[in-house]
Structure 1
């Protein structure tokens, strides 16, 4: 692992025992719509470019990242158990120092969750489907099983699509509001019937708070609204993918 960070990144406040960041679209070798640091293996980018971009990311991590096959669900993978290929899951947890968790996004939210002392770490992929299905609650439940006794929990909600740019239909509105009336506060009705603007980061914070996470930081970045910095599938379907990585540090 290099001592000098070479890839542009965004991150949040310092966190005892935890290192984490989200990449930007700069610092890689991909071209065209995927320029330049596309880390998504399931895109139509040149596989050789993706491999080089992933090599550059790996150079800044303490171990090979634990890639997932994300499916917009709520399955949580145990990264402390070896797997021969990426599991179908949208979150992973670890209690081992140096085990690098990773998810890829291009409008969905990356969410880092850990106890305030840095003993157990989770990283979740939260699009609206996974968020409504309970991926954050499932991740937190798996972490609580690893930390006996009471613990104070903390979360960072990374770059994702902002409310101004996230138009959804009645199906998305119902997926949240029918199960939690308080979720209605995170939707603004548009003039067109059946259309809403959804506050995805706000919904994530709402659900994390309800699940017992005491300290929650929102990055404030909108992937759709910053085309020079971030990829956005909603903005351009021929889009690259950002990577959010997190790992526990030795004491």
Structure 2
């Protein structure tokens, strides 16, 4: 897991049995890294510089669009993507969230890491599948960590969302429970675990928080609206 590098950096390293050379950090409320919320852009850029300087890595900042695009070192794009994968050391695959599900990846033997921003749209459309395809490694050796997201007790969706998941994976039914007025309560963590398991990834960690209900720890778009900040979740490799 590693040690907390600075009290100026809210959050901490991810709790998973990653191999030596893999580093992670998941920020919390107090260090807004998103340019969409109420924090001034100048301050957000300062926060981003603090993150990079403190963790001693270079983040790959993405313009997330709730899609399935994956940035890799073989491609020049740096925006319009919701995931990134790298084999380079010192490069941080980072995604920003405020209710959507962040998923970090590493491999027990291969020198590759990745991160995906998996809101329900990206999750249903295949952002996890595309990320694993870009990693191009044996899925049995992959470790995945599910970061803080909106929990099943707070994520109410319409029938169309449930049907979209059921069309691609019938087992998704277990991730939904009936609500009122034709609505459903959805569990992003279960949906992600089902899709990862179908891809051969079974070593999955995290998935115990709710960004909506844990107000003191996390930003939440559903709770705070357009002014909500963004947490950052990053994985990178260092030289052995």
CA contact (8 A) 2:107 2:142 kept: yes
Question: Which secondary structure state, in structure 2, belongs to the residue aligned with residue 142 of structure 1?
Answer: helix
1:122 alignment partner in structure 2: 114
Q: CA deviation at 1:176?
A: 0.1
Q: Aligned pair 1:221/2:209, yes or no?
A: yes
Q: CA deviation at 1:166?
A: 0.3
User: Over aligned residues, Cα RMSD in angstroms?
Assistant: 1.9
**CA–CA distance in structure 2, aligned partners of residues 81 and 242 of structure 1:** 27
1:24 alignment partner in structure 2: 28
CA contact (8 A) 2:18 2:106 kept: no
Q: Aligned pair 1:160/2:149, yes or no?
A: yes
Structure 1 unmatched runs, 5+: 27-36
Q: Aligned pair 1:197/2:189, yes or no?
A: no
CA contact (8 A) 2:140 2:200 kept: no
Q: In structure 1, which of residues 245, 248, 251 is the aligned counterpart of residue 234 of structure 2?
A: 245
Q: CA deviation at 1:150?
A: 7.5
Q: Within 5 Å, which residues of 2 pair with 1:138-153?
A: 138-144=130-136, 147=137, 152-153=141-142
Q: CA deviation at 1:191?
A: 2.9
CA contact (8 A) 1:152 1:214 kept: no
Q: CA deviation at 1:143?
A: 0.5
CA contact (8 A) 2:57 2:236 kept: no
**CA–CA distance in structure 1, aligned partners of residues 103 and 237 of structure 2:** 15
- How many residues are treated as equivalent by the alignment? 234
CA contact (8 A) 1:18 1:118 kept: no
Q: Aligned pair 1:236/2:224, yes or no?
A: yes
1:108 alignment partner in structure 2: 100
CA contact (8 A) 1:118 1:248 kept: no
Q: In structure 1, which of residues 38, 42, 59 is the aligned counterpart of residue 32 of structure 2?
A: 38
Question: Which secondary structure state, in structure 2, belongs to the residue aligned with residue 175 of structure 1?
Answer: helix
CA contact (8 A) 1:128 1:200 kept: yes
2:85 alignment partner in structure 1: 93
> Aligned pair in 2 of structure 1 residues 150, 211: CA closer, same or farther (>3 Å)?
closer
Q: CA deviation at 1:64?
A: 2.2
CA contact (8 A) 1:97 1:248 kept: yes
Q: Aligned pair 1:9/2:11, yes or no?
A: yes
TM-score calculated relative to the size of structure 2: 0.91
1:61 alignment partner in structure 2: 55
1:175 alignment partner in structure 2: 164
> Aligned pair in 2 of structure 1 residues 152, 182: CA closer, same or farther (>3 Å)?
same
> Aligned pair in 2 of structure 1 residues 117, 249: CA closer, same or farther (>3 Å)?
farther
CA contact (8 A) 1:101 1:123 kept: yes
Report which of the two has the higher share of helix: 2
> Aligned pair in 2 of structure 1 residues 118, 23: CA closer, same or farther (>3 Å)?
farther
